[in-house]
Amino acid sequence: MKTNILFVCLGNICRSPAADGIMHHIVEERGLGGRIGIDSAGTYAGHTGELPDARMRRAAARRGYDLGHRARQIREEDFGRFDMIVAMDDMNYENVHRLAPSRRAAEKIFRMREFFRRHPPLGPCSRPLLRRRRRLRAGARHAGGRLRGNSRIPRKSAVTCKKKAIRRRPCPRIVVFAAACRSRRIETARQKSSPKLML
């Protein structure tokens, strides 16, 4: 029985075709082409029919990946056609969930980072994921392991991304000015509270 996986990003011209191309490469390397089907799509239809971004294609070619996919928008019938729908970020994960025709269909939706062992410190709009090709390859391998029924692979990684708060030092001029204002307020309060001499 063939297992079909769909990678989804916003425009289907950068991240999801990169994951598509890398996963295709891994599947062909391992001789699993007859068992695993790969495709990608976007939640936005503005790039329909276009090739992946030229910069992404050049970066992929340098690493031996061929990105010849034409962009398309995800459709409702994709929920019946694919066994796993992998969203590349949280925004698209939520958008794909809104498109799911049923709860059972929504159970097929995953975040790409669920298959990573290590999480890069990236925000919702991440850099091209080819720069994280090792993590993509690892994520694809773990996804393949889950399809083979490997129970050692967790549903969600225990590693989480935490942004460290950066405390900025105040400007020295502002500190001096604030101290001067405070001293003036204290002096004014003392003058008001002290008894006045009656001449």
For 86-109, what is each residue's pLDDT tens digit? 999 999 999 999 999 999 999 999
pLDDT at 113: 87
pLDDT at 122 over 60: no
Q: Of residues 169 and 112, which shows the higher confidence score?
A: 112
Here the tokens at position 41 are 């799509």
Evaluate if pTM is beyond 0.85.
no
pLDDT at 117: 75
Burial of 118 (0-12, 13-18, 19+ CB in 10 A): exposed
Distances (CA, A) of 21 to 64, 79, 106, 119, 157: 10, 21, 25, 21, 24
Indicate whether 134 pLDDT > 50. yes
CB 95 within 8 A of CB 152: no
Q: Could you read off the pLDDT of 4-31 as tens digits, one per residue?
A: 999 999 999 999 999 999 999 999 999 9
Per the DSSP assignment, residues forming a β-bridge with 38 are: 5
User: Which residue bears the tokens 């009656």?
Assistant: 198
| Weakest mean pLDDT among 52-61, 118-127, 140-149 | 118-127
Alpha helices by DSSP H, listed for the chain, are 15-29, 54-62, 78-81, 90-99, 103-106, 133-147, 172-193
Q: How sure is the predictor about 145, in pLDDT bands with cuts at 50, 70 and 90?
A: low
- Asked if residue 44 lies in contact with residue 11, where contact means CB atoms within 8 angstroms, the answer is yes
Distance CA 130, CA 127 (A): 8
Q: What is the pLDDT of residue 116?
A: 83
End-to-end CA distance of the chain: 107
